[in-house]
């Protein structure tokens, strides 16, 4: 199968105490490790209650923005296959050893055409979900805050979304589910693309913009009610909300966008349709982009298109 899912998002924060309050107390992530990086920066590792691998989010003190993404593959041999495809695409690939990332095995690392760092691995320490696998309950009895179950996806910006789409197709075996382009013509300029390797509506989206920037990373929720409850909890905790609760036209997902204390945008995301490789790609054109992003209001706010980290 190759890439199964985004395994982790590693992001920078300006104040670790504030960040921990946000991600642990408001979002309800579980801390699995705290240490100091080789650069001397404090790091904290988190997982959601329905994730079984050691971590899915890494916070590192010292600035803002994304440090790197980890992608988990199904088989050890997939690492060699992706390395070969990445080199054929013209990327410079380096090997990483088990332990370079705590609780993560051997793998490869490369910088994408968007100047984001991707790591590919197969082995991760499994510590189990909070409800276990033996006659499990539907959710943990004592959820904290929003109680997000898992990391879901991310949106990055890049100067050439078409090049990133090509890389994700040829190296990772991803396919596009939705696109924004200047017209319906086959040779239209690509503005944004939503991509996945499985039935998840998107694992990574790429939007035309500055290189190496993070627009947001998102956590999965179950339904509209959970999205609304999350917004209520954000109001209680004075979390700055960007937009929502609302629905996307693109992906049909239900959403709230908000900011962590460092100014990085988060999202909680529910719903969306199932993706299949033979499903026709949904194409949006610029005059309908407001409806595509925010289906109800049908217009974009300035923050959504300009605030990046």
Find, among 102, 95, 97, the residue nearest to 43 by Cα.
Answer: 102
Question: Strand runs (DSSP E) across 124-271, as ranges?
Answer: 150-158, 175-181, 190-196, 204-208, 213-220, 241-247, 253-259, 265-271
Q: How many CB atoms lie within 10 A of CB 62?
A: 15
- Residues noted as catalytic: 153, 202, 216, 248, 257, 267
The dihedrals phi and psi of 170, each to the nearest 5 degrees, come to -80, -30
The dihedrals phi and psi of 223, each to the nearest 5 degrees, come to -165, 180
DSSP H or E segment with residue 57: strand 57-61
* SS3 (DSSP) at 21: helix
* SS3 (DSSP) at 101: coil
Secondary structure of 237-290 in HEC code, one letter for each residue? CCCCEEEEEEECCCCCEEEEEEECCCCCEEEEEEECCCCCCCCCCEEECHHHHH
* SS3 (DSSP) at 25: helix
HSE-CB at 179 with a 13 A cutoff on CA atoms is: 19
Taking the C-alpha atoms of residue 74 and residue 49, their distance in angstroms, rounded to an integer, is 22
What Rg do the C-alpha atoms of the chain give, in angstroms? 19
The arrangement of strands across the sheet holding 42-47 comes to 30-36, 42-47, 57-61, 3-13, 65-73, 117-121, 107-111, 93-96
């Amino acid at each position: 199968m190759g890439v199964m899912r985004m395994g982790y998002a590693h992001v920078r924060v300006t104040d670790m105490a504030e960040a921990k309050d946000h991600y642990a107390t408001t979002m309800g992530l579980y801390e699995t490790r705290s240490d100091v990086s080789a650069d001397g920066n404090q790091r904290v590792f988190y997982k959601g209650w329905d994730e079984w691998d050691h971590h899915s989010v890494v916070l590192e003190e010292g600035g803002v923005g994304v440090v790197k993404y980890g992608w988990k593959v199904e088989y050890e041999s997939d690492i060699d296959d992706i390395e070969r495809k990445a080199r054929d695409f013209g990327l410079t690939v380096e090997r990483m050893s088990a332990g370079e990332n705590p609780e993560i095995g051997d793998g490869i690392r490369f910088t994408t055409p968007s100047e984001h760092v991707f790591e590919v691995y197969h082995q991760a320490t499994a510590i189990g979900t909070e409800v276990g696998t033996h006659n499990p309950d539907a959710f943990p009895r004592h959820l904290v805050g929003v109680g997000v179950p898992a990391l879901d996806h991310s949106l990055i910006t890049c100067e050439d979304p078409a090049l990133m789409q090509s890389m994700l197709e040829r190296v990772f075996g991803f396919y596009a589910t939705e696109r924004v382009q200047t017209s319906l013509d086959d040779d239209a300029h690509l503005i944004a693309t939503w991509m996945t390797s499985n039935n998840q509506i998107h694992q990574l989206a790429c939007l035309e913009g500055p290189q190496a920037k993070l627009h947001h990373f998102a956590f999965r929720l179950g339904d509209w009610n959970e999205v609304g409850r999350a917004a209520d909890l954000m109001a209680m905790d004075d979390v700055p909300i960007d937009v929502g609760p609302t629905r996307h036209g693109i992906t049909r997902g239900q959403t709230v966008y908000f900011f962590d204390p460092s100014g990085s945008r988060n999202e909680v995301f529910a719903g969306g349709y199932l993706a299949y490789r033979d499903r026709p790609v949904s194409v949006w054109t610029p005059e309908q982009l407001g409806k595509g992003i925010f289906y109800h209001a049908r217009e974009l706010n300035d923050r959504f298109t300009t605030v990046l980290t």
